[in-house]
Amino acid sequence: MAATFVIAQGGGPTAVINQTMVGAVIEIQKRHPDARILGARHGVRGIRDGDYVELSDVPEEQLRRVGTTPGAALGSTRDKPDAAYCELVLAGLKKVGADAFIYIGGNDTAGTQQILADASGGSISFVHAPKTIDNDLVENDHTPGFISAGEFVAGAFLSVDLDFRALPGVYVGIVMGRHAGFLTAAAAAWRDDEDSGPHLIYVPERAFSVPRFIDDVRATLGRYKRCIVAVSEGVSTADGKSLVESIVPPDRLERDAHGNLKLSGGDLGLAFEHALRDGLPGTRARVDALGYMPRGYIGAINDTDSHEAFNAGAFAVEAAAQGGGSVALQFDGNKTVMKLVPLSAVAGKTRHMPDDFLKPDINELSDKGIAYLNRLVPGKYQVGKPFV
């Protein structure tokens, strides 16, 4: 009897998540030409509702075009399945005779796969294929989606630094990153020298203080006549509360199905604008939230990222044959290699940016942090030195 594979995408879309889906489909077509391949629309919700698209006979040429397109072609979801929801998902998988379920996403997605695997009794192979621009999956050196998003962020901050050399002032760019500061740190990947921005980097791994922030900006202005700041949306105060929680009344806080706070809305930007207005009156300042743009920008799809995402999908098919688990991208000292690790090693866990990626007692990247980013997001442009 021919095998049946179910594939779905979860969490925030990226520039290369479709490559992982396509990599899996093409690998299944090659290994199991008679297999049925079902793409669940909008993640586990599609499995629960029996909403699928047939992928078995989609021509490779068409699949390749989908792979080079940002966003989640199958649709995504942030549903957090509880026990009852998982029973419905398992019933949906059994109804279509699924032998394997490949779910592409971050640590919440890995958590869903762990719950389903524990409840299934081993009748179905559950595979988690990695995806997240936050770069926060344990067991991974880096994750598909991060490099392309990092390239966008690096280019954005290089560009804004040149802008503020011409018209000096303060610029604060708020970057996605709830618990990990890797993407915010990528703002410094294309710095030309210590005079270049971003001059200050604030990440969730270090406590944030508004008075200290103003002092840092004032000192940087005194040194460079301008100050370019990259700040993670998830920065927290010394009491462990996210900055959003500290400035937004409890009745106005918004959360998703996973209990995660909405971070990058207007309130956070306004907080920085007010802090700069009150702490540095009369200073030209601009605060922007980069928002969703970095995660799926068609103009910054990195070739390495795209290739690795495709390979992660292909490896997920091999992982299904081995009984399931989580696909991990690891660095062997020379190149990225795929490894299969237990779902329990990844599910619900967060990889934080190492403390030694930042200089001690100052919000700048260390040589080690720069080396890591330069390996993944090498500079693409040669920029002439301005005359000012």
What amino acid positions are annotated as catalytic residues? 134
Q: Position of tokens 């795209």?
A: 306
Give 47's DSSP letter.
H
Q: Position of tokens 């990947």?
A: 189
Degrees (nearest 5) of the Cα angle 20, 22, 25? 110
Neighbours of 356 (CB within 10 A): 11
**Rounded distance between C-alpha atoms, residue 304 and residue 301, angstroms:** 9
Q: Which of 377, 336, 334, 328 minimizes the C-alpha distance to 147?
A: 377
**Rounded distance between C-alpha atoms, residue 53 and residue 41, angstroms:** 7
Contacts for 77-81 with beta carbons within 8 Å, 24 or more apart?
A: 77/10, 77/42, 77/43, 77/44, 77/45, 78/10, 78/11, 78/108, 78/256, 78/257, 78/258, 79/43, 79/44, 79/45, 79/257, 80/108, 80/112, 80/257, 80/258, 80/259, 81/44, 81/112, 81/115, 81/116
- The residues that bridge with 315 in the sheet, in sequence order, are none
**Rounded distance between C-alpha atoms, residue 333 and residue 103, angstroms:** 28
Q: What is the largest CA-CA distance in the chain?
A: 74
